[in-house]
Structure 1
């Protein structure tokens, strides 16, 4: 995604301490008995000697599982239907799940996503060892290409900081890029700054379906973006403060890049958009029409969602490029509440009719796939 402004002096520790609710911050690995000296790091999910199934692999950074790194377990988990159980700890590594490893499931053993963190610190402008830079896609801490991927109770993070790298202008730093169809995340956290959660697809012709339930996402610039058909249900989005800026906007929550042939893009339902920034300093969304697909028609519906004072209620949408104004895209709202949802200029806030809202549901967006029936 295009870069915006620079320098947000937030420490890496501060990033990892961020919680899914105000006043509820806990340290990563906050349960020391589980994370370091405990005898049962995998909780009710058993242990390497008492497996859930023969397809289960156990990951523990302290050496009490089958592997100490997530990527090593992914590499070993060939084929389809493999389960990884992750013990509490901070896994500082990049992880890639290729398209052959379908129907994989990752489980945070403690059932608290703050305990299990997969994190790295590449940005788009970070130099690669062999020359060049990583680019936005290459900056991802975790990349998932396989279909049927499910994750529960895990934090995916990118703790690259602008303030630590003033000479780098490519400040996009992805926590996770998800490209596979039928990808589901339950009770997960996604932490970063610019381009935190990249909800995408394998190609322009594939309308990958994704489902995010009871998740927490934070960032500043376009921190939920991409061309997937994605439903965000009961999720909390949190905009970060920016001490490097003196004027609004500080950033943008959502930046869909839906293919023009796709009838549906992003759906936010029963969500919450909070902020640590001053009032009205964030836009709710802007459309991304990438140079690789100038026929894109970004689609976003936000319904039954609480929008906090951090959102600019007068003008919640803006353009990423004047060549593709947001008014010509597919943005709409329905029955939102909160100070950021107040309608003072109706033309700036397109609303669905009650009849149109009947088709703006998770079932309509996801078709015959019902991931919420398997959620935890």
Structure 2
């Protein structure tokens, strides 16, 4: 089953001082990049390590600064503090640009706390193994946009923690609760690869935390596909109002018939917003689903479009247009 909710938080929070400031009035100078810093392991750039490039950016920066990362495997823990917004981390592509770590349980490879961060063309991996939390990335800042990135781990691969986040054409791999958190996120055309060994127990893709019906958080997956080995549930509840929607997603046969699990929130099933809308593939047959999954006619799917769910104020229109 993995860590219970309280233990999951404890094992991760002790490693990070967290200061989140939602809604800071920063537009990063519109869609213009003012400075480019090159990172290259062979010394053909300003820095050899990604963290050193981040550290070189002035605190409370309010203009887009791009850190371009040349191909290589960068073995380091990366931390973007809350007072360094308006940063773009751009790899050459997610196959050749890899950030890797995993020397002990509950050490996150990559942490991003500030608002207005863009990630592109990078794979973040935690190689610790399957014996506990193996977080590849923690994303906490509002208005974070992630394009063509990979997230590789086992349990708790991607901590989609807080804020509004947009994931486009990403690859996310894990076995238990490997997309989890309290963020308000839209995943478009992403590939989810479930690797849970069914001989041990079934896996779970999502563990979304939402404590009340008034909270805007939730995960929406539109398009993309779920593949992998073993068997996996679409999600389990991490909070009494957990919310996850799969929309026009291809579900392979790795998806278990029941689909969802109430976990420690039995008795709150009618509060969950778990739904599948216009999905396809052998795993999309909802005949065996839990009875409390929402039917498509019980939700207004237009409320979960990209523009309605995370982009009502148009923040995605204000990022450098090379990403859209």
TM-score, with structure 1 as normaliser = 0.72
Q: CA deviation at 1:74?
A: 0.6
Task: Choose the corresponding residue for 1:82, options 65, 72, 83.
Answer: 65
Report the Cα distance in structure 1 between the residues aligned to 2:99 and 2:186, rounded to whole angstroms. Answer: 23
1:264·1:365 contact (CA, 8 Å) conserved in 2? no
2:237·2:265 contact (CA, 8 Å) conserved in 1? no
Report the Cα distance in structure 1 between the residues aligned to 2:137 and 2:157, rounded to whole angstroms. Answer: 7
Aligned: 1:71 with 2:39: no
Aligned: 1:285 with 2:235: yes
Q: CA deviation at 1:222?
A: 0.5
Please state which structure has a larger fraction of its residues in strand.
Answer: 2
Moved over 6 A (4+): none
Q: CA deviation at 1:54?
A: 5.8
1:37-116 equivalence runs, <5 A: 55-78=35-58, 79-80=61-62, 81-108=64-91, 110=92, 112-116=93-97
Aligned: 1:199 with 2:170: no
Show the counterpart of 1:160: 128
Report the Cα distance in structure 2 between the residues aligned to 1:254 and 1:222, rounded to whole angstroms. Answer: 5
Gaps of 5+ in 1: 5-51, 127-135, 163-168, 202-207, 290-295
Matched position secondary structure for 1:61 = coil
CA RMSD of aligned residues (A): 2.3
Show the counterpart of 1:214: 169
Matched position secondary structure for 2:296 = coil
Report the Cα distance in structure 2 between the residues aligned to 1:190 and 1:300, rounded to whole angstroms. Answer: 19
> Aligned pairs, how many?
288
Q: CA deviation at 1:248?
A: 4.2
Matched position secondary structure for 2:264 = coil
Show the counterpart of 2:148: 187
1:233·1:271 contact (CA, 8 Å) conserved in 2? yes
- Structure 1 residues 323 and 350, CA gap change in structure 2 (3 angstroms): closer
Q: CA deviation at 1:157?
A: 0.9
Q: CA deviation at 1:354?
A: 8.5
Gaps of 5+ in 2: 5-31
Name which one, 1 or 2, has greater alpha-carbon Rg. 1
Show the counterpart of 2:284: 341
Report the Cα distance in structure 1 between the residues aligned to 2:218 and 2:287, rounded to whole angstroms. Answer: 26
Report the Cα distance in structure 1 between the residues aligned to 2:53 and 2:114, rounded to whole angstroms. Answer: 15
Report the Cα distance in structure 1 between the residues aligned to 2:251 and 2:300, rounded to whole angstroms. Answer: 21
Stretch deviating more after TM superposition (215-224 or 264-273): 264-273
Show the counterpart of 1:26: none
Task: Choose the corresponding residue for 1:302, options 227, 232, 246.
Answer: 246
